[in-house]
Amino acid sequence: MTEKVGVLGKKSAPRTQRSGVERVVNAPLPTVYGEFRAIGYLDHDRGDEQVALVYGEIGTEDVLTRLHSECLTGDAFGSQHCECGDQLASALRAVVAEGRGIVVYLRGHEGRGIGLLAKLRAMALQAEGLDTVEANLALGLPVDARDYGVAAEILHDLGVNSVRLMSNNPRKREALLRHGIQVAEQVPLLIPPCENNITYLRTKRERLDHHLPHLDAVAHLS
């Protein structure tokens, strides 16, 4: 390999490849829910830009926290195929009501990590009768490709040692524990189902182990 030579014939120092998560910016973000701070991060390993919405003086212990996977169709378009948009809104309301808390919005998690276009392809297969697990597998994709290591790094940067985790997904709790964040409590985030998402939610409960006890009360939905 030829070494790079800079001006005056001096050898250039090799560039250091950065890794991990870097805090880039802290900006006020007034929302319809309350006044948050939007703390932006760059994930050098994956190239994703991430954000944590922080409300109040969060402290270090038992911080009410939501790890929210990016979902363009649900968060922005109000899709009833999932409950993601309602979960995001409920989480933001909850941390404001609590007086302190964090919502980590995880980009790169679209479609449980398979990406937007692949998610739309999976949704098309679901419209033909496959469930959400079968659709991903039919496309040759993993059922769930999400990694919560970046979320744990963000929480560490914010000085958080333990959380009250707003989630119905046991895998999020397990991931945080593996990365050194204690989970003092798992707080259910249950959204009333509708006709368009009941099959999707039942699949999440039966095949992905999500804790969704409220579905028992809506047996009448197809």
In the structure, how many helices (H) and strands (E) does the chain have?
A: 7, 7
Q: Which of 66, 112, 121, 146 is the catalytic position?
A: 146
CA distance 153 to 63: 15
To the query of whether residue 146 is one of the catalytic residues in this protein, the response is yes
To the query of whether residue 86 is one of the catalytic residues in this protein, the response is no
CA distance 74 to 109: 13
CA distance 198 to 144: 19
Q: Which of 43, 75, 86, 144 is the catalytic position?
A: 144
Q: Among all chains, which residue has been given the structure tokens 């009833």?
A: 80
- The set of residues, in sequence order, having a beta carbon less than 8 Å from that of 98 and lying 6+ positions away, is 55, 56, 64
Q: Is 109 in a helix, a strand, or coil?
A: coil
- Residues that are catalytic: 144, 146
